Structure 1
């Protein structure tokens, strides 16, 4: 077999495999969209979609894997459940803080970290057409809360970067606060506190 034939055969196999995987991904994406539109999840997915970084694929995972959000007393507790809170070692009056422990739900933590990366790319106060579309049909309270959260999260990221924090540290901090906002939206505790 000549080299050209071997290369062509390898390329054909690669393309066939790529097409097969692409069609699987499309089927899974379609199924996730169907599940997100189910009556049990539709309203919650719609509310969570108001927040930058939370889209149709992320929202159902947060809802299903968390279960009852009200089992957490506050957003910080939910963030700690996801291991997005900083670790702490203390003895007496001495307290040492460390990075996130990574001991919680790794899948949800990864989704929120990825969502935070999306938040950190945008301009403060900017609302894309896609976000406006996701917010359409939600209550004014939820939209206003999500808009304030979006502004706060982006501001936090840029403030941390300006103060010399490493990008990953800033993204993790945004993800932790994003988890708190997710908790507030899901529990109906959407009071906003300026910091």
Structure 2
């Protein structure tokens, strides 16, 4: 039986490789070591290769495409319904083959090295920002044990902390002052690390044609532009702007039956990080829309009068997502008026 598709369950060292024929009947399903994979696949030069879009899939996708294979990366949530019986590597590899045969499955393009570099910087910065937030919350909680409460905002705490450590009138003990000094130094080190990551992101934005086009859109800066490029590439994986917007969870969820349509809040599916950035971009436009006269600001201004600022922010983020896709896909400049 001729093998037409091979599904690979990726791992660090031992991969499960399943080959099926045109009827999706298993021909082989075996484990291979990492160094054996490419030599084994060379026996099947005309097959389609399917993998889950997981850690390492971008590397293998790029490598296999360079060898002339057609590669299909499948989001894991689309593979899970096809796993039959208990979860194991054999069943997972066969489930990948079954999912790849379905006509309505949306496949993912492997990220380029440029996209991976951008994603790397964003993931590191996101972890650093989360670490800083955790540290600030801990400092506030520990200060409260000594009866010290500081106004909201990280800048208020940062400005007050050195004075609190030096103030002999408060209830901080000598040991506590030593610990808070170390926490303050840790905070400063995290701030420097975040600045370094943001500097790298800005340099990548200036070197990317797609990011430079996106930064012409009102409200979108280097961080959002590079995050979009790292996630969507040139936009060719999406049918249209609504498809891209739906992919990041900015369209209403539906619960309709009996011919009666029922829409709710946004689905919140897909890339949470990118959705958050686009909503922050929308809020930056809303804050200055009263005095602005460009078409986007006028549109959101009239929407706020009817629906309020919070719903308008989500609607504007949805609109920005569609504009972003159009600019990436068509490679055109943004026209504000």
TM-score range, shorter chain: 0.7 to 0.9
**Could you tell me the TM-score, scaled by structure 2's length?**
0.45
| Matching residue within 164, 173, 177 for 2:315 | 173
Structure 2 CA distance for partners of 1:172 and 1:71, relative to 1, 3 Å: same
Kindly tell me: are residues 78 and 6 of structure 1, through their superposed partners in 2, closer, same or farther at Cα, counting changes over 3 Å? same
Q: Counterpart of 1:51?
A: 217
Aligned to 1:187: 329
For 2:263, which of 97, 121, 128 is the aligned residue? Answer: 97
Q: Report the secondary structure of 1:107's partner residue.
A: helix
Q: Is the contact between residue 49 and residue 59 of structure 1 (CA under 8 Å) also seen in structure 2?
A: yes
SS in 1 for 2:284: helix
Aligned length: 164
Cross-structure match for 1:61: 227
Greater RCO (Cα-Cα under 8 Å, separation 6 or more): 1
Query: Equivalent residue for 2:237?
Result: 71
Query: What residue ranges of structure 1 are gaps of 5+ in the alignment?
Result: 127-149
The secondary structure found in structure 2 opposite 1:91 is coil
1:153 to 270, 286, 296: 296
Residue 87 of structure 1: SS of its match in structure 2?
strand
**Secondary structure, in 3 states, of the residue corresponding to 1:71?**
coil
CA RMSD of aligned residues (A): 2.4
Q: 1:125 to 1:186 in 2, by over 3 A?
A: farther
C-alpha contact (below 8 Å) 2:214/2:225 kept by paired residues: yes
Shift of 1:7: 4.5
Give the 4+ runs in structure 1 shifted more than 4 A.
Answer: 189-192
8 A Cα contact 1:33 1:57, kept in partner: yes
Report whether the alignment pairs 1:17 with 2:186: yes
Larger Rg: 2
Q: Does residue 1:36 correspond to 2:205, yes or no?
A: yes
Q: What is the alpha-carbon distance in structure 1 between the residues aligned to residue 323 and residue 180 of structure 2?
A: 47
Question: In the superposition, relative to structure 1, how do residues 189 and 13 fare at CA in structure 2: closer, same or farther (>3 Å)?
Answer: closer
Higher strand share: 2
What is the distance in 1 between the residues matched to 2:178 and 2:320? 48
Query: What stretches of structure 2 of length at least 5 have no aligned partner?
Result: 1-170
Give the TM-score normalised by structure 1.
0.74
The aligned runs of 1:115-130 (5 Å cut-off) are: 115-123=281-289, 126=292
Q: Secondary structure at the match of 1:60?
A: helix
Aligned mates of 1:188, 1:156 — CA distance in 2 = 23
